Amino acid sequence: MTQFLQKRSETSRIKFEGSGKQTISQARARMGTAMVLVSLAYVIIVGRLVVLGFAGEETLTRLAINDISISATRPDIRDRNGETLATDIVTSSLYAEPKRIVDADEAVEKLVTVLPDLDVKAVYKRLTSKAGFVWLKRELTPATENKILALGLPGIGFRTETRRFYPKGETASHIVGHVNIDNVGIAGLEKYIDDRSLKELRSLGLASDKEMKPVYLSIDLRVQHFVRDELAKAMQRYNAIAAGAVMLEVNTGEVVAMASLPDYDPNYPVDALKKDRLNRVSAGLFEMGSTFKTFTTAMALDSGQVSMKSRFDATKPLRIAGHTINDFHAKKRVLSVPEVFIYSSNIGTAKMADVVGTKGHREFLHRIGLLSKVAFELPEVAKPVEPDKWRKINSVTISYGHGAQTTPLQTAVAGAALMNGGKLIAPTLFPRSEAQAKQSAQQVISSSTSKQMRNLMRLNVEKGSGRRAEVPGFRVGGKTGTAEKVVNGRYSSEKRFNAFLAAFPIDDPKYVVLVFIDEPKPEKGLKSATAGLNAAPVVGNIIRRAAPVLGVRPDFDYKVGPLLVSN
């Protein structure tokens, strides 16, 4: 071979050999190249086969299911203990194509064996009609579907559709919200999830094919049920137009329960848009009444200019700018700070606010988050209303909760700040740890003022207007608020908004509860309908049922009365 090649290279310049021999040698070279190329191709093919053969199952599966498009599912919504509040269910609907039905009589007879509640006449009419397509039955379970398929009827079939289902019905309707016919969230957390995940999808460019993880909430379904149940009973007992409540974890800002009645069943959200069905807890604005005295008192004590031993003269009504401020339960004497609090003295509270001054008062209410829009996950949040310009009269009336409107949710959040050592923590509907809460918490009052407020709240339940909220063992502390509602521009003594702001266990508060009842009527056999008579017992009932579930340990010996009041 080498000789030949040498010869060939030598002869390439000096052409000795005939053209025949040259052609043969050229053909040989070309064939060699072709053979090398062909075998190389086979080596590549074999190599690829070996690679595919050793490829993991995962790759093969991915190749196989790559083209399945993503179905329009939504994540499950669950409470903090994993109880389902909203889920997707796949239902099938039965349809028929009458032209392809061979024997309508037989078809109806067989269908009735599986679906006994079928309207035989109507179905027969539809099956013998000339329509190309008719629905026979919507939303069947897979089990029923299999039974109908087993009948082997020609001309009938199924279409599957995903539907949102709320197994707990009304219980958490305002929190969970609902979806529209296209499975798009339009209220509550359903809307929040859509808004948030839409943003994520946009940032990724496209939808991911990962299965959606359930969304866990801070809500405890059991407590949520207790709250709603007690509110429903109260609405009936006091013939009120509305009622609502919110329970917060004071150290994390988690909403444990939140209900507003009247509500609706998210499975049939036709009622949701009625005007009276709004979520009053976060979207309702109210003059909170005497519960605001809690904040006025805390402000006065925190300013350092008022102490628990300070005294305020409540002998005479307060006259200011042509208005007269009276006490509802007038004592007509000089009152100490605890007395002003437990007798809910308007005069005493107004004088306490006066010590701090109009500017300081406004600043404090903003600091504690009562007059600015609260940051919350629900889309339904109202912005508080305050006077454009604060005059002295504004400060006086706002000191006992008239003249500024805020949401019950914010009142509870500010109440939690008074109870937990003075940290204002934004409310949330998602689980949050104490460490996380601490990062964003703002110190709004000193921890010693917080301790004083706890004692005052407890005293009010031991001796004051909150007696009916007492639950033996669970150390409830709280403040009542009976506000007169504005009717045609004037305060009405007939229409009231009653609230009760409570915390338990008051020696080391874990939870704050705010209950309100809108326009309650006096109970049978009673003449008045004050917050102490209707909102306080509702709080008591809620705590009685919820505290054991929440793991609060009873203690029957805790009393603060002897510490604070000597008379």
Partner 1 sequence: MRFAPMLRSIDVLLLLGLIVVVAWTFKVKYDSQNALDRVAELERQIAAEKVEIDLLKSDWSLLTNPARLQELAERYADELNLQDLEASQLANEQELPNFRLEKIQPPSETREAENQADKSIETGSIPASVSQEEQ
Residue placing its CB nearer to partner 1 in the complex, 90 or 563: 90
Spatial CB neighbours of 391, under 8 Å, sequence gap ≥ 6: 321, 358
Taking the complex as a whole, the smallest distance from the CB of residue 269 to partner 1 amounts, in Å, to: 18
Q: Is 60 in the site for partner 1 (CB under 8 A)?
A: yes
Residues of this chain, 114-143, that bind partner 1 according to CB under 8 A? 141-142
* Full DSSP string of 474-490: S--EEEEEEEEEEETTE
Measured CA to CA, the distance from residue 248 to residue 414 in angstroms comes to 11
Residue placing its CB nearer to partner 1 in the complex, 202 or 553: 553
Which residue in 22, 25, 87, 310 binds partner 1 (CB under 8 A)? 87
Q: At what angle do helices 358-367 and 292-303 cross, to 10 degrees?
A: 110
Residue placing its CB nearer to partner 1 in the complex, 25 or 197: 25
Of 59-67, 355-363, 399-407, 494-502, which part binds partner 1 (CB under 8 A)?
59-67
Q: Is 52 in the site for partner 1 (CB under 8 A)?
A: yes
Which residue in 102, 309, 488, 556 binds partner 1 (CB under 8 A)? 556
Q: Is 451 in the site for partner 1 (CB under 8 A)?
A: no
Taking the complex as a whole, the smallest distance from the CB of residue 74 to partner 1 amounts, in Å, to: 12
Which residue in 65, 204, 270, 435 binds partner 1 (CB under 8 A)? 65
Residue placing its CB nearer to partner 1 in the complex, 16 or 556: 556
Residues of this chain, 149-208, that bind partner 1 according to CB under 8 A? 165, 167-171
Spatial CB neighbours of 155, under 8 Å, sequence gap ≥ 6: 96, 97, 98, 99, 100, 101, 102, 107
Measured CA to CA, the distance from residue 121 to residue 48 in angstroms comes to 64
Cα 532 to the chain's mean position, in Å?
A: 29
Cα 543 to the chain's mean position, in Å?
A: 21
* Location of structure tokens 């008719």: 134
Which residue in 281, 325, 506, 547 binds partner 1 (CB under 8 A)? 547
Measured CA to CA, the distance from residue 214 to residue 121 in angstroms comes to 44
Taking the complex as a whole, the smallest distance from the CB of residue 495 to partner 1 amounts, in Å, to: 31
Of 234-242, 353-361, 443-451, 541-549, which part binds partner 1 (CB under 8 A)?
541-549
* Location of structure tokens 């974890």: 249
Residues of this chain, 373-412, that bind partner 1 according to CB under 8 A? none
Taking the complex as a whole, the smallest distance from the CB of residue 545 to partner 1 amounts, in Å, to: 8
Q: Are 325 and 349 in contact, with CB atoms under 8 Å apart?
A: no
Residues of this chain, 215-274, that bind partner 1 according to CB under 8 A? 221-222, 225, 228-229
Number of chain positions touching partner 1 (CB under 8 A) = 42
Of 82-90, 151-159, 337-345, 353-361, which part binds partner 1 (CB under 8 A)?
82-90
Residue placing its CB nearer to partner 1 in the complex, 46 or 122: 46
Residue placing its CB nearer to partner 1 in the complex, 301 or 471: 471
Residue placing its CB nearer to partner 1 in the complex, 40 or 63: 63
Residue from 217, 228, 215 nearest 256 by CA: 217
Residue from 182, 128, 118, 185 nearest 155 by CA: 128
Which residue in 1, 14, 51, 64 binds partner 1 (CB under 8 A)? 64
Taking the complex as a whole, the smallest distance from the CB of residue 548 to partner 1 amounts, in Å, to: 6
Residue span 267-306 as binding mask against partner 1, x where in contact by CB under 8 A, dash where not: ----------------------------------------
Taking the complex as a whole, the smallest distance from the CB of residue 267 to partner 1 amounts, in Å, to: 10
Q: Greatest CA separation found in the chain? A: 141
Residue from 303, 563, 567, 560 nearest 454 by CA: 560
Taking the complex as a whole, the smallest distance from the CB of residue 273 to partner 1 amounts, in Å, to: 24
Residue span 9-38 as binding mask against partner 1, x where in contact by CB under 8 A, dash where not: -------------------x------x---
Residue placing its CB nearer to partner 1 in the complex, 228 or 280: 228
Choice among 173, 260, 290, 345 that is catalytic? 290
Taking the complex as a whole, the smallest distance from the CB of residue 87 to partner 1 amounts, in Å, to: 5
* Full DSSP string of 153-181: -TTEEEEEEEEEE-TTGGGGHHHH-EE-T
Token pair in block for residue 561: 């009365």
Residue from 131, 129, 108 nearest 120 by CA: 108
Active site residue 290: yes
Taking the complex as a whole, the smallest distance from the CB of residue 313 to partner 1 amounts, in Å, to: 41
Q: Are 413 and 369 in contact, with CB atoms under 8 Å apart?
A: yes
Residue placing its CB nearer to partner 1 in the complex, 201 or 212: 212
Spatial CB neighbours of 203, under 8 Å, sequence gap ≥ 6: none
Q: How many CB atoms lie within 10 A of CB 323?
A: 11
Q: Are 257 and 79 in contact, with CB atoms under 8 Å apart?
A: no
Residue from 350, 339, 332 nearest 309 by CA: 339
Taking the complex as a whole, the smallest distance from the CB of residue 380 to partner 1 amounts, in Å, to: 23
Residue placing its CB nearer to partner 1 in the complex, 154 or 169: 169
Three-state secondary structure along 286-348?
ECCHHHHHHHHHHHHHHHCCCCCCCEEECCCCEEECCEEECCCCCCCCEEEHHHHHHCCCHHH
Q: Which residues bind partner 1 (CB under 8 A)?
A: 28, 35, 42, 45-46, 49, 52-53, 60-61, 63-65, 83-84, 87-90, 141-142, 165, 167-171, 221-222, 225, 228-229, 471-474, 544, 547-548, 553-554, 556
Residues belonging to the active site: 290
